[in-house]
Chain A
């Protein structure tokens, strides 16, 4: 069975500092990986996705993530965060032959001035 672990429930960071949100997954099959962002009182919006090809994936708002198959990780990074990046971030995995999206428990990014 597939699962997703987001190790940090909350990550506080100062504005303009770099940030990394960690995500590890478990799966015995090829997977597709996603990061979604949820701003307060809104639905989920896709940040970026890994389907195949280059392991470094660039998304919207300056975020990027690196797929590491040996470590089964898909960590999200941004070199310099803004106040507006304050939100909850969800990592998700979908199996190659499954249409089911499995979500992690989420990481709340809190950007302070």
Chain B
């Protein structure tokens, strides 16, 4: 149980375009989902916390207008990287927390390469 999926698993795009990444909890409902970013050989860095039906909370230094988060249902959160640039190239990982429990389960990640 407690499976989280992400789509796409990898994406290559041109600079200036927008990319949407989906995060789904497959077998549980998640009122809270989290978005992380991980650069090569570094640890995960929390970007934002997404609560179903409300605005996301962004960590300091993360531009909310650049990284748009939508958590419209208890099983789906999306992260849109707007006007992507090469420095946005990274590994984006989401996690979801069960409504009834507090353990966070992570998705497989999405590799973004901006050319």
- Whether chain B is bound by chain A comes out as no
Interface residues of B (CB under 8 A from A): none
A positions within 8 Å CB-CB of B: none
